A and B are shown apart, each in its own frame.
Chain A
Amino acid sequence: MSTEVSCITNDLLIALLRDVVAENRARNREAILQDVWSPLTTLEEIGFDSLDLVELVFMIEDRFSVDIGFNANTNINDVKTIDDLRRAIDNLLADSRAA
């Protein structure tokens, strides 16, 4: 069942990121899941790559029945921390709502 989402909190994003990593355990990322992640944790530290980002966006779109105007060719792949990513996704959500 989908849930309305107006903005992404850091706690929600961290939970979603953990889901993405957990679904890709085959990539030897068990150890990453044992760590505590904060908004200042970098995506590099958790081994989060461009494919994970697409998986994350797809997961958000499916779970919350929203359409995120995301294009992997933009500089969204340059964001450094989990908090940076939260803001970038929030901006895309706002753009999609305005469209």
Chain B
Amino acid sequence: MTRVVVSGLGIVSPVGCNVDTFWRSLLAGSAAFAEASALPGRGLCVAEVRDSDFMAGLTVSASMCDRNALFAIAAARQALVAAGLGEGFPRPDRVGVILGNAAGGQCTVDEQYSRLHLLKKRPPPMTVPKVMVSSSASWVSMTTGAAGPSFVTSSACASANHAIGVAIQMLRAGAADIIIAGGTEAPLSAGTLLAWDAMKIMSRTACRPFAAGRNGLMLSEGAGIVVLETQEHARKRGVHASVEAAGFGFSADAGDLVSPDAGGMERAMALCLADAGLGPGDLAYVNAHGTGTRANDRTEVLALNHLFAGTPLPPLSSTKAVTGHSLGAAGAFEAVATVLAMQRSMAPPTANFDAIDPECDIDCIANVGRSMPIAVAMSNSFAFGGLNAALIFKSLR
């Protein structure tokens, strides 16, 4: 079977707009939560990306594309430079772009609805191309020259994992040699934040996945990119990647729109292991979905315990305590974190951890990263609507 490798990483996040800063923040537990700039005075805390951290050098302006597409363009450029593809592609038609995005141009929607209803001004002509959910893939394609199979997957909080999983499958099937995969999201508009607040699951203090003191999730924004490539193509370019994108598993709960289901989660993880030709005992580390909500954390632990059927779980952490939950970009943030963990032999911690939730019987890496070799790691994303996607990465060292 064709092997797929990770040949470059890119990140635009509230805690770093390059992989080294991002990694240092994960290890230090340095979150960047502050009151949402779109909703001053309401006590809603989110993690925002500073424009000055990622806009330098972009040739596209905010008048042309929504914030989520700007994030994707910047992260893709970083990842391609890291992959040795910053100068272009020998065969652009063999390079695809598959990105996850949950909500499309929410900042543009908010801005134009305000103009329409408050100022009675009609939306400008660029509104539709800015709002469309697929615009980030289009912009990455246009700015990099990638002319192969390109589209956006949308499955709420699992969007990026679905994008990366589909990319693995398409590379194995010979549909492309390289795919710029990942996810992007810019959901921190006033309307979107109030809609999330109405669900009463947002923390106003800190995100503490799997901890006794947890009280909800915190939203964020950004983009993560993994350049995926067939191992044969990478070798021909003289690139010897250290991590293989070795497996993906998808499932649907076919149950509830918001309540997670352990059975669906377990099936995605089991399918992912089977796809990689591995068993649960091979996993050295799990980057959990770990949103910091009671429903998600407990159900994910239940699913993992059932999958492992009485054998000890590997060490696990949720990096959302630092990055926040970036929805359609979350799986991409976590794929980048997981690949870095494998390359640097260090499992990042779950920050803000006070004490273990008694209902979560896990080896949670609390507050301090754990130095350890990581040969195989899994990264989970479980979305509202019961759409589940797990990824497995394998060290090639």
Is B2 in the interface zone, CB < 8 Å from A? no
Q: A73 to B201, Cβ gap below 8 A?
A: yes
Is B258 in the interface zone, CB < 8 Å from A? yes
Smallest beta-carbon distance A25→chain B, Å:
15
Q: B216 to A50, Cβ gap below 8 A?
A: no
- Picked from A51, A57, A70, A72, the residue with its CB within 8 Å of the CB of B293 is A72
Which residues from chain A contact B294 at a C-beta distance below 8 Å? 72-74, 77
Bin chain A's interface residue count: 10 to 19
Q: Which residues of B contact A (CB under 8 A)?
A: 198-201, 203, 214-216, 256-259, 292-295
Q: A51 to B198, Cβ gap below 8 A?
A: no
Total number of residue pairs linking A and B with CB closer than 8 Å? 39
In the bound complex, CA of A55 to CA of B5 (Å): 46
Known: A54-B199, A54-B200, A58-B198. A73 touches B257 (CB 8 A): no
The SS class assigned to the B binding surface is loop
Q: Which residues of A contact B (CB under 8 A)?
A: 49-51, 54, 57-58, 70-74, 77
Known: A72-B199, A72-B200, A73-B201. A50 touches B215 (CB 8 A): no
Task: Give the most central of A51, A70, A71: most B CB within 10 Å.
Answer: A71
Known: A71-B215, A73-B215, A73-B293. A57 touches B200 (CB 8 A): yes
Nearest CB in chain A to that of B297: its residue: A73
Ordered by A's residue number, 16 sampled pairs between the chains whose C-beta atoms are within 8 Å are A50-B259, A51-B256, A51-B257, A51-B258, A51-B259, A54-B198, A54-B199, A57-B200, A71-B215, A71-B216, A72-B201, A72-B293, A72-B295, A73-B201, A73-B292, A73-B294
Known: A50-B295, A77-B294. A70 touches B200 (CB 8 A): yes
